[in-house]
Amino acid sequence: MALRCGLVGLPNCGKSTLFNALTKAGAQTALYPFSTIDPNVGVMEVADERLDAVAGVTRPKAVVSAAIEYVDLAGLVKGANRGEGLGNQFLAHIREVDALLHIVRAFQDPQVPHVDGTLDPVRDIETVSYELLLADLETVAKRQEKTSRKLRSGERRYQGEVEQLKALEALLGRGVSARHAGPEAGRGGVFEELFLLTAKPTLYVVNVGEKTTAPEEDPLFAATAAYAKGQGAVVIAVPAKLEAELVELEPADRGVFLNELGWAKSTLPDLVRRSFALLDLVTFFTVNENELHAWTVPRGTTAPAAAGKVHSRMEKGFIRAEAVDWSDLVRAGSMAAARESGRVHVEGREYRVKDGDILYFRFNP
Ligand SMILES: Nc1nc2c(ncn2[C@@H]2O[C@H](COP(=O)(O)OP(=O)(O)OP(=O)(O)O)[C@@H](O)[C@H]2O)c(=O)[nH]1
Ligand SMILES: [Mg+2]
């Protein structure tokens, strides 16, 4: 499982520009064969200073970072739900991602037309959300038809599903995304089978111009941030074009270029970190003399399931795991020293993997 993030937004808001910046930034050290991936999918390695620290102690021959796949989607337009623009085919692509980066335009550029004529990121968020809501309402309606048929033919157990679908329909009808569903409409039950578009964790990315070096003072960014806050959503300002230019430079020249334009640092590491946080993932590491490898799993994953990420045989034959926090290993200086100081704990099948764990799996091969 590589985490998949889809870039959505109106045409010309800067999705492809940001995509290029993200995936080229990742390509520098990437171990992934880009040529075999769909041109609209790119892999970005996740920089993780814990990996460097552990590698300093364990000296592996290779280090494999965790990765995020970014999917550059076509621009969404009004009426996508009725098949306009790329319509339904496009909506199907959104269904396949784990999370959404919803990009809105806040940059001024007379050369780049805006589909609605003016700059208004909050309006743009609502335009796109409305299309996603319509698509979800259709999904719910289709399922309602099916469920009511079953109910009529006497299968009483579908009564609960009917109630849940009604509650979901009412929620979406009020313009509320499925990810904000309360207990009666969602999670669990039929909710999980619908793969609703508005159920996906969403991060708002405001594409500010390269001149907007203090985004919090920018009225367009501030308005978007206030809107996102009202939804409990995270928002981040990114100068997409500047980031795309930055990755074309030699790493050594980037700092100077940024500082000349008044930016302290690239915004991309923060964007990547937040994409990760959005899905509530934890990272664990495996290490041997050959390789130090970072893996990501949802919070709450048990030790055998984590072992299964590494190899299915490790999950089937799981016996126990030895776990040590990465910082304890670094402080101890070696695995042997960490064991001696009692930092390594033995865990069984019920253990839930913690962020930053280094795990050694014992298994029956
Ligand atoms: N000045 C400026 N121009 C930008 C910025 N970001 C994107 N652009 C320009 O806006 C135009 C559209 O950018 P794209 O990245 O292709 O937009 P998109 O969202 O992928 O558009 P579609 O694929 O048509 O939906 C291009 O000419 C970009 O160079 C920015 O931060 N500043
Ligand atoms: Mg594009």
What is the full DSSP assignment across 265-314? S-SHHHHHHHHHHHTTEEEEEEE-SSEEEEEEEETT-BHHHHHHHH-HHH
14 lines ligand 1 (CB under 6 A): yes
Ligand 1 pocket, mutate which of 208, 241, 263 (most atoms under 8 A from CB): 241
pLDDT greater at residue 296 or residue 321: 321
pLDDT at 1: 52
pLDDT at 274: 86
pLDDT at 35: 35
Ligand 1 pocket, mutate which of 7, 8, 13, 17 (most atoms under 8 A from CB): 17
215 lines ligand 1 (CB under 6 A): no
Mean pLDDT of 149-161: 85
Fold of the 3-44+68-119+199-278 domain: Rossmann fold (3.40.50)
Residue 273: band (very low, low, confident or very high) from pLDDT cuts 50, 70, 90: confident
* Residue 53, beta-bridge partner list: none
CATH, domain 127-198, list 1.10.10.10, 3.30.70.120, 1.10.150.300, 3.30.230.30? 1.10.150.300
CA distance 1 to 334: 30
Contacts 24+ apart (CB under 8 A), 228-234: 228/204, 231/177, 231/180, 232/180, 233/202, 233/203, 233/204, 234/203, 234/204, 234/274, 234/277, 234/278
CA distance 191 to 168: 9
> Closest ligand 1 atom, CA of 111?
27
- Domain 281-363 coded CATH 3.10.20.30: yes
Does residue 238 contact residue 15 with C-beta atoms inside 8 Å? no
CA distance 200 to 95: 9
Mean pLDDT of 222-234: 94
pLDDT at 43: 83
pLDDT at 27: 43
Mean pLDDT of 191-213: 93
Residue 178 has pLDDT above 90, yes or no: yes
Which of 30-34, 92-96, 138-142 is most confident?
138-142
pLDDT at 91: 78
pLDDT greater at residue 237 or residue 151: 237
pLDDT at 152: 86
Extents of the domains making up the chain: 3-44+68-119+199-278, 127-198, 281-363
241 lines ligand 1 (CB under 6 A): yes
Residue 87: band (very low, low, confident or very high) from pLDDT cuts 50, 70, 90: low
pLDDT at 83: 60
pLDDT at 117: 86
Report residues near ion ligand 2: CB below 5 Å: 15-16
pLDDT in tens, 33-71: 333 445 588 888 887 889 999 999 999 999 998 888 888
Ligand 1 pocket, mutate which of 70, 104, 112 (most atoms under 8 A from CB): 112
**Which ligand is closest to the CA of 112, given by its number?**
1
pLDDT at 30: 39
Q: How far is the CA of 135 from the centre of ligand 1 (A)?
A: 26
Q: How far is the CA of 260 from the centre of ligand 1 (A)?
A: 23
Q: How far is the CA of 45 from the centre of ligand 1 (A)?
A: 24
- The proportion of the chain whose per-residue pLDDT surpasses 70, expressed as a percent, equals 93
141 lines ligand 1 (CB under 6 A): no
Mean pLDDT of 239-253: 93
pLDDT in tens, 94-138: 888 889 999 999 999 988 888 888 999 999 999 999 989 999 999
Structure tokens at 190: 């039929």
